[in-house]
Amino acid sequence: MLKRHAWQEAGVTTLPVMFGYLPLGAAFGILAIEVGIPAWGALLMSLLIYAGAGQFLAVTLLAAGAGLVEVAVATLMLNSRHLFYGLSLLRRFQGAGWRKPYLVFALTDETYSLLTTHAGDAGLDHAQAFHVSLLNQLWWVLGSMAGVLVGTTLAFDSRGIEFALTALFIVLTLEQARRLRQWLPFAIALATGLGAMLLLPDRHLLLGAIGAASLVLLVDYRRRQSGDRP
């Protein structure tokens, strides 16, 4: 009964992600079929790679004739932000046991947002983090399956469906702001994001914004630590 309640609670927690992942996963499935990826290949990507933006990038590059090395380097650059996610959760995942490898694998942007928004008892937290991570991937895989089905059976105009990812990030950001009630991280994110848009080319925008924001937050952290010392 307790386990069932935990899954129900995780289901409610992941509802915002579900509403984003189902249409976005469907968009990926449709795109993968349109560029010539076999249905089984698209589903395998969602099961074993599970990186939304990375999957979109990979199928686009493969369709353009890029080699595997180019795809690997571009994906590494795009997903390098996950290095910062992992570092911030090192203590959180301590003692997770057999769940830890999957928690590391399934740490998407949206899952990171949920895990850092919903805190709890250390023991329950690992189990609940596992439930949330697994359900989030389930929504993505189900969306991909639906997209593959549509892409192989119907002529589908997918223009505009990719905005689901932007809408999902907006919802998660507002939820974080409402719970944390700290303006500084969001002000830094806004400033570094706008600065990157003005100063950097598109291919370096994401990494530059994340790197700048992390540097500013690190400086602020060191300043606070120094101020707390006697």
pLDDT digits (tens, 9 = 90+) for 20-39: 899 889 888 988 888 888 99
Answer with the one of 166, 198, 218 that is the final residue of a domain: 166
Residues 157 and 80 in one domain: yes
Residue-level pLDDT at 123: 43
pTM of the model: 0.68
**176 within some domain:** no
Residue-level pLDDT at 149: 92
Residues 158 and 205 in one domain: no
Residues 133 and 65 in one domain: yes
Residue-level pLDDT at 23: 87
User: Average pLDDT for residues 56-80, to the nearest whole number?
Assistant: 73
Residue-level pLDDT at 157: 67
**146 within some domain:** yes
Residues 201 and 93 in one domain: no
Answer with the one of 139, 166, 193 that is the final residue of a domain: 166
Residue-level pLDDT at 124: 47
Q: pLDDT tens digits, residue range 130-155?
A: 999 999 999 999 999 999 998 888 77
State the residue range of the domain holding 107: 1-166
Q: pLDDT tens digits, residue range 77-127?
A: 667 767 777 777 877 888 888 888 898 888 888 888 888 876 544 444 788
From residue 94, give the alpha-carbon distance in Å to each of 56, 114, 125, 180. Answer: 32, 18, 11, 23
**13 within some domain:** yes
Give how many domains the chain has, as a whole number: 2
**Of 196 and 146, the one with more pLDDT:** 146
Residues 10 and 121 in one domain: yes
All residues at 6 or more sequence positions from 86 whose CB lies less than 8 Å from its CB, including other chains:
104, 107
Residues 129 and 188 in one domain: no
Residues 75 and 149 in one domain: yes
Q: pLDDT tens digits, residue range 152-183?
A: 887 766 666 556 556 656 766 776 677 667 77
- The per-residue b/e assignment along 184-202, b for 16 or more CB within 10 angstroms, e otherwise, is eeeebbeebbeebeeeeee
- CA nearest neighbour of 18 among 114, 148, 84, 157: 114
- Across the chain, mean pLDDT equals 79
